[in-house]
Structure 1
């Protein structure tokens, strides 16, 4: 299928939608100097694709669209948020002065998006599962930090 000549090839995570409507996730095998568009615009009739560790060739005529997944490595999303550069409001997609209700609504939406139960019945590559888990922890950490800030800034209720 392809020759791996000592590191000159790499695998780019992509999603392919076929003309049949089927969707595949895996890796496109490229040389170090190639871009996604280079591989798709070559005169070859097939592209080298890898899914679940199996190499295959996909006819370009069967492809409706291709998109790069560009997933960050899970080690870039630490289990605890880094002190410097971590913006919990940005993680949840809320303004810095958002109300508790806005923060909670944004948290619930993001938590549903990344919750591991959403993907329990879907076969995903390990790196995608790890990314989703890391993002879920990232969202939880952002909510915990904003919730703690909110509790500190609210005046204590007098009975």
Structure 2
């Protein structure tokens, strides 16, 4: 099954705030439009949307307060610590390099629970706070993936 949440020309990952205050996250199917603006300005009453759990929905445009694209997150790259693109995966997880897999898993679970966007889904938060939580959650997942691959290679 194709991952609907990878950035491609066919979908755009978004956070949508409805007029009733509900926030939904997933992907708007882009179709033949060249951008998010193109999808939103189409003369159709509904947006085709796929939620994070894979459910396909059609959302009435007149019920939407705003749509916010979820920016692609920088991924850790193997560069010098002096390089501005450097992300310290171990430091992000609060770990020392050379730790074991179980310690990494425990640190990951603790942070993932703390920053998971669903933990705050019933609370109205400022957009920048929602984006921060989402970005941190992604960074934590990416960092754990990198640390996990290093710890399993070392074992």
Q: TM-score, normalised by structure 2?
A: 0.51
> Does the CA contact (< 8 Å) of 2:75 and 2:142 recur in 1?
yes
How do residues 131-146 of structure 1 correspond to structure 2 at under 5 angstroms? 131-134=139-142
User: Secondary structure at the residue paired with 1:71?
Assistant: coil
User: Secondary structure at the residue paired with 1:56?
Assistant: strand
Change over 3 Å in CA distance of 1:88–1:30 after alignment to 2 = closer
What CA RMSD, in Å, does the superposition of the two structures yield over aligned residues? 4.2
Identify the residue that residue 43 of structure 2 maps to in structure 1. 43
Q: Deviations over 1:116-153 (max 9, x none)?
A: 131458379xxx85543225789xxxxxxxxxxxxxxx
Q: Distance in 2 between matches of 1:121 and 1:35?
A: 25
Identify the residue that residue 10 of structure 2 maps to in structure 1. 10
Unpaired stretches in structure 1, ≥5 consecutive residues: 1-7, 93-106, 109-113, 139-159
Change over 3 Å in CA distance of 1:88–1:118 after alignment to 2 = farther
Change over 3 Å in CA distance of 1:89–1:25 after alignment to 2 = closer
Identify the residue that residue 100 of structure 2 maps to in structure 1. none
> Does the CA contact (< 8 Å) of 1:12 and 1:27 recur in 2?
yes
Change over 3 Å in CA distance of 1:26–1:89 after alignment to 2 = closer
Q: What's the CA shift for 1:50?
A: 0.5
User: Secondary structure at the residue paired with 2:57?
Assistant: strand
User: Secondary structure at the residue paired with 1:31?
Assistant: coil
Question: How many residue pairs get matched?
Answer: 107
Identify the residue that residue 56 of structure 1 maps to in structure 2. 57
Identify the residue that residue 101 of structure 2 maps to in structure 1. none
Say which one has the larger Rg: 1
Unpaired stretches in structure 2, ≥5 consecutive residues: 1-7, 95-109, 122-134, 147-155
> Does the CA contact (< 8 Å) of 1:71 and 1:131 recur in 2?
no
